[in-house]
Amino acid sequence: MRQSFIDIIPESYNKYIKRKVFIILLTVLLTLAISIYAINAGSAGLSVYDVMKTILGKGEERFQIIVWNIRMPRILSAIVAGIGLSVAGCVTQSILRNSLASPFTLGISQGAAFGAAVAIIVFGADSTTNPDSVIVNNPYLVVFFAFLGSMASTIVVLMLAKSFRVTPEAMVLAGVALGSLFSAVTMILQYFADDVRVASVVFWTFGDIGRVSWKDLGIMSVVVGISLIYFMFNRWNYNALDSGEETAKGLGVDVEKVRLLGMFVSSLIAAVITSFVGIIGFIGLVAPHIMRRLIGGDHRFLIPASSVMGGLILLASDTLGRTIISPIVLPVGAITSFLGAPVFLYVLSRGYKR
The three-state secondary structure class of 287 is: helix
Cα 87 to chain centroid distance, Å, stands at 7
Query: For strand 134-136 and strand 127-129, is the pairing parallel, antiparallel, or unpaired?
Result: antiparallel
Note the pLDDT tens digit of each residue in 304-314: 999 999 999 99
Q: What is the pLDDT of residue 131?
A: 45
Evaluate if residue 218 carries a pLDDT over 70.
yes
C-alpha–C-alpha distance, residues 226 and 45, integer Å: 38
Determine the average pLDDT of the residues in 13-32. 90
Distances (CA, A) of 284 to 82, 167, 273, 290: 8, 21, 12, 11
Q: 231-245, 308-322, 326-340: which has the highest mean pLDDT?
A: 308-322
Region of 252 on the Ramachandran plot (φ > 0 left; ψ -120 to 50 alpha; else beta)? left
Q: What is the DSSP annotation of 225-245?
A: HHHHHHHHHTHHHHHHHTT-H
Q: What is the pLDDT of residues 252-285, one digit of tens each?
A: 888 888 888 888 898 888 888 988 888 888 888 8
pTM: 0.87
Q: Which of 253, 312, 322 is nearest to 286 (CA)?
A: 312
Distance, CA of 246 to CA of 97 (rounded, Å): 13
pLDDT in tens, 58-110: 767 777 777 888 889 999 999 999 999 999 999 988 888 777 778 777 888 88
SS3 295: helix
Q: What are phi and psi of 128, to 5 degrees?
A: -120, 155
* CA–CA separation, 194 and 47 (whole Å): 44
Q: Lowest mean pLDDT: which of 113-117, 159-163, 205-209?
A: 159-163
The pLDDT confidence band at residue 9, using thresholds 50, 70 and 90, is: low
